[in-house]
Structure 1
Amino acid sequence: MTFNPLQERGIPLDRQLRNWRELNVEPIDPDRADPYTRCRIITMNGIEIEAIMFSHHFARRCQDLEVRQRLAEVRYIEAQQQKAVNWLLPGTSSVLETTLAYEQVAVDLTAWVARMEPDPYLKQAYQFGVLEDFDHLYRYANLYEMIEHRKAEKIVDQLTEVMPGRPTKMHHRHPVDNVREHYDRETAQAISKLHALTVMSAEQQTMNFYMNVGPMYMEPIARQLYQEIGLIEEEHVTHYESLLDPGESWWEQWLNHEYNECYLYHSFMQTESNPRIKAIWELHLNMELEHLRIAADMFRRHDGRDPEQAVARELPKPVTFEPNKEYLRELISTQIDYTTLGTGYVQEAHERFQRWQDQIMGGEEPPSERVIDENRARSGDEYRLETEGTHPLYSLRTH
């Protein structure tokens, strides 16, 4: 059944305000919830944060008082949505448990996007990035075992494997080599624009989370690991945001943001296993349909085009959280040694990469390597979660 969000009518904006009782959502049960329900919550929190920050940046550059007032009205509702979504996460979960869930999102969301992306250059960008997030999950899982004496399968279940990807120490690149070519807004498929905005928003949320929670730990290795991976998340945001066409007007960007929110809430409403959470996705979809109508009206008035010239008439196939084990295994076997050079990819370290590595390492092993050594010393071995057989590469030590 097709769904054109531009033709649907949602809840009028003046009826979207919620009181404290309505915003006081019940969090999920961390011991019983589907891990992918938690992944959908984390994803939508990142999407809402991006919507809020985009609106603030737009308002700071807009001289039209009426437009700034309308942005503020929509943005306040987006802020309420973000609070309702993010407050679904249980307060009983530790920072490290939430971190593991963030990395599960990064792995399975980016892998799904890579599988579905029609543009070969954009597909390569997602394939490259997911092998790094995969390794981050492995490093944090070892930190979790070492500090909290628990196994990461408590969080990821058997849905996502935990093992080395591209070694985290190899993720430190010269900043110019993190900037990709952007898609062409005139020729790119609509789904490609949504993919880029979605993955960029998710990575941005992770970057912000790590830069704030990292110094809250007392253990030196934890503080250092969050610092290292937090810097890599900055690289990832640069990597993904550079895929967006900077030639899109503010009005087109606003339209894309609201359309993407409709797309994701509609997707998760269709795939959610928890009826109570599904009802929240449905409510927020009906709110976002009105936000999209407002953005579409502004696009017509200020950009001078019909919205259907910029976005698809029908929502694409729903974004789906599902295991990507075989896909990731194939990427590990063929692309683990990739790095970037300019806007392309190479399979050997080059001079600029090596100089950067030498400078940032300072002759010492980084925290991402030491956390494995320290966990092996304390626990007797490093932590891995392998399912459904093994691959010869998995027996290799990456440090």
Structure 2
Amino acid sequence: MAFDPLNERGVPLDEQLRDWRELSVTPIDPGGCDPYTRCRIIAVNAIETEAIFFSHQLARHCPDKRIRQQLAQVRYVEAQQQKAVNWLLPGSQSTLETTLAHEQAAVDLTAWVARMEPDPYLRQAYQFGVLEHVDHLYRYANLYETIEHRAAEKVIGRLTEVVPGRPTYLQHRDPTDTVREPYRRGVTEPLSRLHALTVMAVEQQTMNFHLNVGPTFIEPLARQLYQEIGLIEEQHVNHYESLVDPGENWWEQLLNHEYNECYLYHSFMETESDTQVRHLWELHLDMELEHLRVAAELFRRFDGRDPDQVLAPELPPPLTFESNADYVRDLLITQQDVTTRGTGYAREAHERFEAMQHAVMDGERPPSERVIDENRAISGAEYRLEQQLSP
């Protein structure tokens, strides 16, 4: 049966607060969990963090104290949700292992979105971005083997290939070439808006992760690699946030955020293999249904339209974490040499691209290349993980 969040009843807002014991979740088993459970945790943490950041920005632009108070009530619950989700990650997991999981999540989520995206321009944006995360996963897998002397397969299983993507050193572009054209809110399908919000949130989370953990390493090459890829993540946030129509008013954006949270919790509830984690997705979905109801009321009051005029009449098919190896390999064959120019794409270097390369590299071999050299010297070969793909 189709699931329409606007017609479902959730947990009343005044019943959503949890005490410390309820928030003290048991972390997943780092050695025995499904790698995609870890990816779902990272993705949900990203959308909760984005919801909190957006709510703060809305509050800073809202002159009505009562509305700010209502936003603060919902935001506190969102903060509890974010803590419960993020604390599912085990403390025994190293920073590099968490990094590998972030990159696996980015590869397979973005590849899935690209496969499902109905808009050709938006699809190209996701196809372009996924090849950069493929390469980041490859670089970090080699750093992991160099520093911790373990194979990335320990973290990501055999679900996602570890192969060179679009080389990281070729990902440094003039900032003016990192901004895309936005979708048009009046004609774009609701699914496309959900895709854009989801990928933007995951990229923002990955950028923030690099900002915070990069300086915690002792090894100079690790610090430099996190700094280099962190700058690319900044570009990725430019790339994806620019896809969202800036003409959406605050209340439409709030409505889209809450609907997207319902979509992802419902998706992951349907596909989660870990019983404890699935129960958390179910609980949070019941909470988000009420948050959506609050957002819908504010939208009707300040926008004047009915939410049905903006949102899909029912949730799309679930967003699924699954292996995209065949799809990614096809993209590597057809699009690895693509770069950006203005709001479009090009296959040849151009003046701004070459100027940026010169400014960033200044004749030096970048950390993303040196990490491969170092692993070859230590391990005898670079680390790769390839699958037997379907004929």
Q: Tell me the secondary structure at the aligned position of residue 161 of structure 1.
A: coil
C-alpha separation in 2, matches of 1:99 and 1:362: 28
Aligned partner of 2:3 in structure 1 is 3
State yes or no: 1:328 paired with 2:328: yes
Aligned partner of 1:27 in structure 2 is 27
C-alpha separation in 1, matches of 2:91 and 2:193: 34
Deviation at 1:390, TM superposition (A): 11
2:131 corresponds to which letter in structure 1? Answer: L
Please say if residues 178 and 343 of structure 2, whose CA atoms lie closer than 8 Å, have aligned partners that are also in contact. yes
Aligned partner of 2:273 in structure 1 is 273
C-alpha separation in 2, matches of 1:54 and 1:119: 25
Q: Tell me the secondary structure at the aligned position of residue 6 of structure 2.
A: coil
Please say if residues 338 and 348 of structure 2, whose CA atoms lie closer than 8 Å, have aligned partners that are also in contact. yes
State yes or no: 1:101 paired with 2:101: yes
Deviation at 1:238, TM superposition (A): 0.3
Aligned partner of 2:128 in structure 1 is 128
Aligned partner of 2:209 in structure 1 is 209
C-alpha separation in 1, matches of 2:389 and 2:68: 56
Aligned partner of 2:252 in structure 1 is 252
The C-alpha deviation readout for 1:233-258, integer Å capped at 9, x for no partner, is: 00000000000000000000000000
C-alpha separation in 2, matches of 1:371 and 1:13: 49
1:106 corresponds to which letter in structure 2? Answer: A
The number of equivalent residue pairs is: 391
Aligned partner of 2:165 in structure 1 is 165
Task: Please list, as runs of the form range in 1=range in 2, the aligned pairs for 1:232-311 lying within 5 A after superposition.
Answer: 232-311=232-311
State yes or no: 1:50 paired with 2:63: no
Deviation at 1:34, TM superposition (A): 0.4
C-alpha separation in 2, matches of 1:390 and 1:361: 39
Q: Tell me the secondary structure at the aligned position of residue 7 of structure 2.
A: coil
How large is the Cα RMSD of the aligned pairs? 0.9
C-alpha separation in 1, matches of 2:55 and 2:358: 40
Deviation at 1:389, TM superposition (A): 5.3
The C-alpha deviation readout for 1:39-85, integer Å capped at 9, x for no partner, is: 00000000000000000000001101111001000000000000000
What TM-score comes out, normalization by structure 1 length?
0.97
Aligned partner of 1:12 in structure 2 is 12
Q: Tell me the secondary structure at the aligned position of residue 345 of structure 1.
A: strand
Aligned partner of 1:344 in structure 2 is 344
State yes or no: 1:39 paired with 2:39: yes
The C-alpha deviation readout for 1:208-234, integer Å capped at 9, x for no partner, is: 000110010010000000000000000
Q: Compared with structure 1, are the counterparts of its residues 389 and 44 closer, same or farther at alpha carbon in structure 2 (3 Å cutoff)?
A: closer
1:377 corresponds to which letter in structure 2? Answer: A
Deviation at 1:276, TM superposition (A): 1.1
C-alpha separation in 2, matches of 1:54 and 1:294: 15
Deviation at 1:387, TM superposition (A): 1.1
Please say if residues 6 and 293 of structure 2, whose CA atoms lie closer than 8 Å, have aligned partners that are also in contact. yes
Aligned partner of 1:74 in structure 2 is 74
Aligned partner of 2:369 in structure 1 is 369
Aligned partner of 1:397 in structure 2 is none
Identity of aligned residues (%): 71
2:322 corresponds to which letter in structure 1? Answer: E
Aligned partner of 1:394 in structure 2 is none
The C-alpha deviation readout for 1:93-152, integer Å capped at 9, x for no partner, is: 000000000000000000000000000000000000000000000000000000000000
C-alpha separation in 2, matches of 1:251 and 1:132: 33
Aligned partner of 2:356 in structure 1 is 356
The C-alpha deviation readout for 1:309-365, integer Å capped at 9, x for no partner, is: 111110001000000000000000000000000000011111110011001101101
C-alpha separation in 2, matches of 1:259 and 1:127: 25
1:259 corresponds to which letter in structure 2? Answer: Y
2:117 corresponds to which letter in structure 1? Answer: E
C-alpha separation in 1, matches of 2:379 and 2:288: 48
C-alpha separation in 1, matches of 2:213 and 2:8: 40
Please say if residues 325 and 389 of structure 2, whose CA atoms lie closer than 8 Å, have aligned partners that are also in contact. no
State yes or no: 1:379 paired with 2:376: no
Aligned partner of 1:59 in structure 2 is 59
Aligned partner of 1:315 in structure 2 is 315
C-alpha separation in 1, matches of 2:65 and 2:389: 61
Gaps (5+ residues) in structure 1? Answer: 392-399
What TM-score comes out, normalization by structure 2 length?
0.99
1:44 corresponds to which letter in structure 2? Answer: V
